Amino acid sequence: MPMITRCYLEITNVCNLECMFCPKTKRARRTLSPAEFDSLTDRLRGKVKFLYFHLMGEPLLHAHLPAFIAMAREKGFIPVLTTNGTLLSRARGVIDALPHKVQISLHAHEGNGMDNLEQYAGDVMRFAEEAASRGIIIVLRLWNQGGYDSANGRLMDLLAQYVPRPWGERYDGWRLAENIYLEFDNMFEWPDSERDEYAAEESFCYALRNQIGVLADGRVVPCCLDHDGDIALGNLFEQPLEEILASPRAVAMYDGFTRHEAVEPLCRRCGYATVTKRFRK
Q: How far apart are CA 136 and CA 8, in angstroms?
A: 19
Average pLDDT along the chain: 92
Residues 6+ apart with CB under 8 A from 231: 221, 222, 249, 253, 264, 266, 267
Q: For the segment 138-163, what is each residue's pLDDT rounded down to a tens digit?
A: 999 999 988 778 889 999 999 999 99
What's the full length of the chain, in residues?
A: 281
What per-residue confidence (pLDDT) applies to 274?
Answer: 58
Is the pLDDT score of 86 beyond 60? yes
* Region 43-64 average pLDDT: 97
What per-residue confidence (pLDDT) applies to 185?
Answer: 92
Residues 6+ apart with CB under 8 A from 271: 188, 189, 190, 191, 198
Q: How far apart are CA 86 and CA 105, in angstroms?
A: 10
C-alpha to C-alpha distances, 135 to 2, 118, 153, 206, nearest whole angstrom: 29, 26, 28, 29
* Region 54-69 average pLDDT: 97
Is the pLDDT score of 10 beyond 90? yes
Q: For the segment 213-271, what is each residue's pLDDT rounded down to a tens digit?
A: 999 999 999 999 999 999 999 999 999 999 999 999 999 999 999 999 999 999 999 98
* Region 196-213 average pLDDT: 88
Is the pLDDT score of 276 beyond 50? no
Is the pLDDT score of 114 beyond 80? no
DSSP state of 189: P
